[in-house]
Amino acid sequence: MRIFKISDYKLIKIDLNRNDEIIDYGVKMVGAPLEWSETMGEGIKVGIIDTGVCTSHPDLSGRIADGVNFTLEDTGTFEDYNGHGTHVAGIVAAEKNGMGVVGVAPKSELYIAKAFDKSGKTDYGAIEKSIFWLIDKKVDVINMSFSSPNTFPRYKNLIHFANQKGITLICAAGNDGANGKNTIGYPARFNETIAVSAVDINKKVADFCSKGNSAEISAAGIDIYSTFLNNGYAILSGTSMATPIITGAVAILQAKGVMRYHRKLTPDEIRLLLNIYTEDLSGLGKDDRYGYGLFSFGRIAAGDYVDEYEALRSITNRIGLNTNVKELLIAMLR
């Protein structure tokens, strides 16, 4: 049996209640509040494969469109008994309701596939069922804050199939940076996915962050405040926390595409936008820790982007992007 686990994370603090509203620095760093006057991700379907969700949480209950449980744990519900999935869900879509926290895309719709049990472990079968379920639900983006060092043809084919269905796949790079180079696991290492690295409030990559050629985008992932078990809140660290920031950003991008051009963006188009509108944090261009750098809606608003030809060339080499979409995409969000 092939065993998978959610990416290891560090729990810093738990709050059992919150009467005021907090916008975490990670949500601000990605520039999400700049977009909320236009869209908060309305109508965009976000899939999350994780440990489930705290279904009664006041910041999340109104955002959950559907859910399913593919574990052997409490099979009648997709309730979270670990906390990881609830924290991830809040980063994506916690409601702006005057209390608690606010997610990147606070009006997006969550589709929760519980594939990991209380211990944070699962097998390939649960992941496969989760992805097929989310395909059937016609989600626009899937968040996968988990990692494995191993791959096999059936897994690769599954990811390719989901991508061909028009779903953008956002994955944690992993937290194995202490183990040397080329430590990014799967599914983040597949060509069809977007691997997310974690940085701190000073935009420095985390020491624990996995490294490798697949590193693509960075987002805040250290000391992130979000929803947790028992209708509470917690501060967690890990690439698992950076990943849903980018997933939420994809929901905003998709909503903007629908509003302005009356269609959803393809995974290739989303990837190009994420890669172009980045801040190069290493000064080296694309590298094996930050990827292209820190994505921010602030750079879109300023018309500030890295060399689009470099980004385009890299993406074309990986997935054969049609270069005719370049000018449309660069102009689209100005």
| pLDDT, tens digit (0-9, with 9 covering 90-100), for 105-142 | 999 999 999 999 999 999 999 999 999 999 999 999 99
Q: In which band, very low, low, confident or very high, does the pLDDT at 333 lie, cut at 50, 70 and 90?
A: very low
Per domain, the residue ranges of the chain are 3-264
Q: Are 35 and 297 in contact (CB under 8 A)?
A: yes
The predicted pLDDT at position 202 comes to 97
pLDDT, tens digit (0-9, with 9 covering 90-100), for 56-75: 999 999 999 999 999 988 87
Q: Are 109 and 44 in contact (CB under 8 A)?
A: yes
How much helix, strand and coil, in percent to the nearest 5, is found in the chain? 30, 25, 45
pTM of the model: 0.91
Q: In which band, very low, low, confident or very high, does the pLDDT at 6 lie, cut at 50, 70 and 90?
A: confident
Helix ranges (DSSP H) in the chain: 25-29, 84-93, 124-136, 153-164, 239-261, 267-276, 297-301, 308-319, 326-332
Measured in whole angstroms, the distance separating CA 319 from the mean position of its chain's CA atoms is: 20
- Asked if 262 is an active-site residue, the reply is no
Choice among 240, 268, 287, 296 that is catalytic: 240
The predicted pLDDT at position 321 comes to 46
- Asked if 50 is an active-site residue, the reply is yes
The predicted pLDDT at position 319 comes to 44
* 227 phi and psi angles, rounded to 5 deg: -65, 155
8-state DSSP, 258: H
Mean pLDDT of 293-321: 60
The predicted pLDDT at position 19 comes to 77
Which residues are CB-contacts of 219 (< 8 A; sequence separation ≥ 6)? 26, 29, 30, 196, 197, 198, 199, 242, 243, 245, 246, 249, 294, 295
3-264 belongs to which CATH class? alpha beta
- Asked if 282 is an active-site residue, the reply is no
Q: In which band, very low, low, confident or very high, does the pLDDT at 10 lie, cut at 50, 70 and 90?
A: low
**Tokens, residue 152:** 């096999």
Mean pLDDT of 140-165: 96
Please tell me which residue, 300 or 283, carries the higher pLDDT value.
283
Q: In which band, very low, low, confident or very high, does the pLDDT at 150 lie, cut at 50, 70 and 90?
A: confident
Q: Are 106 and 95 in contact (CB under 8 A)?
A: yes
Whole-number average pLDDT of the chain: 89
Mean pLDDT of 19-26: 93
Query: Among 104, 95, 102, 108, which residue's Cα sits nearest to residue 47?
Result: 108
Choice among 50, 140, 268, 288 that is catalytic: 50
22 by DSSP, 3-state: which?
Answer: strand
User: 180: phi > 0 → left, psi -120 to 50 → alpha, else beta; which?
Assistant: left
Choice among 24, 57, 80, 84 that is catalytic: 84
